[in-house]
Amino acid sequence: MSNINTNAEGKIRVEFSPNIRKHIAIEPCEINGQTVREVLESVFESVPELRGYVLDDQGAVRQHVTVFVNDDTIRDREQLTDPLAANDRVYVFQALSGG
């Protein structure tokens, strides 16, 4: 958890929806990083089993998962290159699909 802090000034806050936390124990955390890929990789480094729930086997965001940066969904779902600024919030949700 070296890059992850739960209360740090200027860091990126990353949160996962309850549906994901039903399967993998992951609390909101704050991380340094320049892109969505960087901060998620930091989380996966600490919680490796989370990766397969968020990304597919080619490293893209799963079809039925959505990632927001603040109020907007990310644009690059394959490489996750969307840039981040200090104090941004990254939210990972399940999509509104299925039944």
Partner 1 sequence: MATTFWIGTRKGLFQLSRSTSGQWNIDSSHFLGVQVPMLVSGPAGLFAALQHGHFGSKVQRSNDGGASWTEIGVPTYPPKPDDVPDVIDPMRNKAIPWSLELIWSMEMTSAGKLWCGTLPGGLFSSDDQGDSWDLNWPLWNLPNRSHWFGGGYDVPGIHSVCIDPRDEQQIKVGISCGGVWASDDGGASWQCRADGMRAEYVPPERAFDPDIQDPHRVVQCVGAPDHHWVQHHNGIFKSTDNCQHWEELKCETPSSFGFVVTVHPQDPHTAWFVPAIADSDRFPKDGQFVVTRTRDGGQTFDVLTSGLPQADAYHLVYRHALEVDMTGEVLAMGSTTGGLWISEDAGDSWQLVTQDLPPIFVIRNGTN
- In eight-state DSSP terms, residue 70 is T
Question: Per rule CB under 8 A, is residue 57 in the interface with partner 1?
Answer: yes
Q: How many residues contact partner 1, by CB under 8 A? A: 19
In terms of C-beta distances under 8 Å and separation of at least 24 residues, what long-range contacts does 51-56 make, across chains too? 53/20, 53/23, 53/24, 54/20, 54/92
Return d(Cα 56, Cα 62) in angstroms, integer: 5
Site for partner 1 in 67-86 (CB under 8 A): none
CB of 11 to partner 1, least distance (A): 26
95 binds partner 1 (CB under 8 A): yes
Residues found near partner 1 in the complex (CB under 8 A): 19-20, 23, 49, 52-54, 56-59, 62, 64-65, 94-95, 97-99
